[in-house]
Amino acid sequence: MFDMPQHNPWLQPLMTGAELATIMRYAGVTSAFRASLKNLGIRPVPGRNDIYDPQHVRHRLNVSQGMHTSATEVISTSGALQNKLTKTEERRIRRGQT
């Protein structure tokens, strides 16, 4: 176990709130920075207050910029598909339950 690498080379390491604030061009972890994270839906790693997952951050930024289509957006834009699904099926798709 001790001869294994410290981290998985395929995964990006987690980042702190200060690092994320610098990347997002904020002066630091301020109330405006926290409000923008809340507005974008970016949440810290569960159980770690000021640690963020870069893949989650990238995904939420893509969604906010319209670069990612979720299942609910496909359903809402396709009227024919929306008529075929029941409310329960729509809810399951929205919540990621298949």
Indicate the helix (H) or strand (E) that contains 82.
Answer: helix 79-84
List residues bridging with 52 in a β-sheet: 15
Closest CA to 60 of 92, 32, 19, 24: 24
Q: How far is CA 57 from CA 25, 36, 40, 50, 82, in A?
A: 14, 12, 9, 13, 30
Residue-level pLDDT at 5:
53
CA atoms within 13 Å, Cβ hemisphere of 42: 27
2-8 long-range contacts, CB within 8 A, separation 24+: none
Residue 28: is its pLDDT beyond 90?
A: yes
**38-88 pLDDT, tens digit each:** 999 999 999 999 999 999 999 999 888 888 766 555 545 555 444 677 888
Q: 25 is written with which tokens? A: 């061009």
pLDDT at 73: 55
State the pLDDT at residue 15.
94
